[in-house]
Structure 1
């Protein structure tokens, strides 16, 4: 069956950047101190930073050798001021994140252009995030005649897993061993064909890890929140989130159960008793859920990946068709001579 690989480019480039920084920057305590050591970051003779690009390209070559997908797409973030802030009014969304460091910011521009000129489809815009494009690509192309994979380290992508789409999550070596030991849905030889330090998630494994199925992940995050993305959720209810979502499936159904009580103390006590005895929810979340209803629903919207972005390309436009000569020219331009040798060996 043909394979379609969607790569979270923003996640991969960021991980590559921080994974290949001098210790003088990694251990610096202030931004000012980090900037003093920027000259130690891998760069060309002309001063272009390349540590993230080099590491990401080396990873991609390894992925290609293992996977050899017929179709490919890269998704990137352009800004934090997407529709989640402009349309939903959530100015707090991702507000807790620091500004992107200059050497990484420059490499985002360089990497995106690099991929385009060698013939790779790149999806990004000011209105949507990388994961929104991934979700829309999955929605348009997944099906029984195409095996779709999404490569990322972001757990938000659990919501895209389906019988036709697998999440290839990048994890540490220690985490990979834990996961391999915990789940025996596959034979061990499956890892021989997966990229390095990648674990493959099925709907069943997502359920085992999160307590809910992929399509319920936004409802789960609506209650638990996501500190990394600045999604508030409902404070003090996180331990009850998975049992409630697993039982009721949707936020609407959870709130319908609460509203059916009519605010009558006796009815609410009976519902709390059901949650405790049947769902194992020891501390009642009812008061918090009622008080934070508006924020819970907004959190769900923030956590839900857009699946309806118009994708003009058809599947054939996403066929992996690298211009090898241009690739080599670009690698030489960025003085990545060791990678040139690897590409020459792939001819």
Structure 2
């Protein structure tokens, strides 16, 4: 199981931050995001029972994508002050589980996840735990995606077959879908005036961006004009949308064998002044 650490931490933080419940401990440190992260993390491991677990992280806001397009994610504000100290502390907690923290400056967590998922032994099945649908482009015969839903323990599990049933395109075509329609959350526009419905129809007919461009004479004049006017942004958006699966990260599969040391974890819980999480640890099946 590959865990999108940022997705879990942000989801957990904002779920309680909205009501001002930052869980500030006796040292004056807010821990609400970390507390919720642990609940998501252990609940998923109990349900899906992976043999190996690793957590991937973004390592700063500047990546190769911001070098290509300076407005990439420029619509996102700075993290709240209550969240800032939790970025390093949550990694400490992951270390207490003897689970690897993986990340590389210049790349996003998704790129690290994609690199590991696509390049590990072919006999291994990989599940990706996230709240971010961008990762669905990685789905294949042995990669599934577990999407967090509202609350704890609620998931939408996607395979390449279920994705095709939902969208009518294959997972790898999602890159071309985002190239056409853009992504407001990542702040790149795609082709102005082309939304998801039109983009899906074009991909179902012509397979990918190259196929569409080779058949511009067959599509409506309005769609042809929009694509021709935004051709440069179409190609750039496709590069921004594609998860890199050749990131130069170092990792050892054996280091990710999931076998926790209960005392070590509970000591870290006590250090963070967590209450009510011990029972989730006791539901785990493997102890070192």
2:2 aligned counterpart, secondary structure = strand
2:71 corresponding residue in structure 1: 92
Matches within 5 A, 1:116-131: 116-131=95-110
Inter-CA distance 286–107: structure 2 relative to 1 (3 Å threshold): same
Pick the aligned partner of 2:229 from 291, 301, 326. Answer: 291
Does the residue aligned with 1:104 lie in a helix, a strand or coil?
Answer: coil
Q: Give the corresponding residue for 1:76.
A: 57
Kept in 2, the 8 Å contact 1:231–1:303? The answer is: no
Structure 1 position 328, deviation (Å): 1.3
**Count of residue correspondences:** 284
Q: CA offsets per residue over residues 227-269 of structure 1, 9 Å max, x none?
A: 01112100111232111122222211211223xxxxxxxxx3x
Contact 1:211 1:243 in 2 (8 A): no
8 Å Cα contact 1:159-1:218 kept in structure 2: yes
8 Å contact kept, 1:168–1:201: yes
- Work out whether residues 182 and 188 of structure 2, in 8 Å CA contact, stay in contact via their aligned partners in 1: yes
What residue ranges of structure 1 are gaps of 5+ in the alignment?
26-39, 174-194, 259-267, 274-282
Q: Secondary structure at the match of 1:19?
A: helix
SS of 2:83's partner is helix
Separation in 2 of the partners of 1:203 and 1:226?
22
Separation in structure 2 between the aligned mates of residue 80 and residue 234 of structure 1, nearest angstrom: 25
Greater Rg, structure 1 or structure 2?
1
More helix, by proportion: 1
Residue 227 of structure 1 aligns to a residue whose secondary structure is coil
Match of 1:209 in 2: 166
**Superposition misfits of 4+ residues, deviation over 6 angstroms:** none
Instruction: Find the partner of 2:26 among 39, 42, 45.
Output: 45
> What's the CA shift for 1:317?
2.2
Q: CA RMSD in A?
A: 1.9
> Residue 227 of structure 1 aligns with which residue?
184
Which among 213, 218, 237 is matched to residue 194 of structure 2?
237
- Ranges in structure 2 where 5+ consecutive residues have no aligned partner: none
Q: Could you say which residue in structure 2 is the equivalent of 1:57?
A: 38
Q: Distance in 1 between matches of 2:11 and 2:71?
A: 24
